[in-house]
A = this chain, B = another copy of it.
């Protein structure tokens, strides 16, 4: 059976690297069994799965430096039918790709805003006078490099190999432990696993409205590995809360905690329980 996997494109993005890493965990013969479908935005990637145009989507959720990828959270809340199938954490190492012969010749640096932000210290020190231009993905601007020898793009080493572009500076991210968590999302029911993700809205302007649902987990010593607030888009000061539990929703203790939490929330949506795939980072570049 062949499966289609949607991701942010064009090819060479970190989302594609995550999709390939996921494929490798599925089967050794992945290349013949899965095909990758690049989409121009993360929202379109998730919508493709909701509409049945692709079987799975691989989407970034959170970066260790820049924090949440809010479009992923917002879209998942809107699209009721999607469940998280697995998670994986990808090490991120940025490089500066350019056809310039030396750093001093660079006048403009293009990349996704998250990548620009993750290299801001290096950019301020090494290229203090260049113009920074945000793009929709790290690979979108690579086309500029063939005609503009004063341009650079922050992307992965894998993108440099794919597009046969020179690396002018490697490992330029400010924090060496930079990594991004991705979710693999589909319409299949939740597979179960060590982590559970959910989101809820709380009644507005009630003191302790957030504390009560959190207590339902704390009292049972269920660890929250993450909490993130997002606006409801109704009015300033009304939020949704996205929570990751280090627990499987199918156990009676977690079921009990979820029922209690639900009684203190307006709407509670469970995005599924899933396992986290360990990734061998050294294998990533070769693909």
Chain B residue numbers with a CB within 8 Å of A241 are: 227
**Nearest chain B CB to A261 CB, angstrom units:** 12
Q: In the assembled complex, which residues on chain B have CB atoms less than 8 Å from the CB atom of A65?
A: 231, 233
In the complex, the answer to whether A67 meets B215 with C-beta atoms within 8 Å is no
Q: Of the listed stretches A131-139, A142-150, A159-167, name the one at the interface; the rest are far from the partner chain.
A: A131-139
Q: Is the interface of A mostly helix, strand, loop or mixed?
A: mixed
- Cα A265 to Cα B215 in complex, Å, equals 17
Stretch of A5-13, A23-31, A216-224, A248-256 contacting B (4+ beta carbons < 8 Å): A216-224
Question: Quick check: A89 and B236 within 8 Å, CB to CB?
Answer: yes
Closest residue of chain B to A132, judged by CB? B136
Which B residues are in CB contact (< 8 Å) with A68?
229
A178 to B174, CA, bound (A): 34
Q: In chain A, residues 107-134, which have Cβ atoms closer than 8 Å to a Cβ of chain B?
A: 113, 117, 120, 132, 134
Q: Mind listing 27 A-B residue pairs with CB under 8 Å?
A: A43-B120, A62-B231, A62-B236, A64-B233, A67-B231, A71-B117, A89-B236, A113-B113, A132-B136, A177-B235, A205-B223, A207-B217, A207-B218, A207-B221, A207-B222, A207-B223, A207-B224, A210-B214, A210-B224, A210-B227, A211-B215, A211-B218, A215-B215, A226-B229, A227-B227, A228-B228, A228-B229
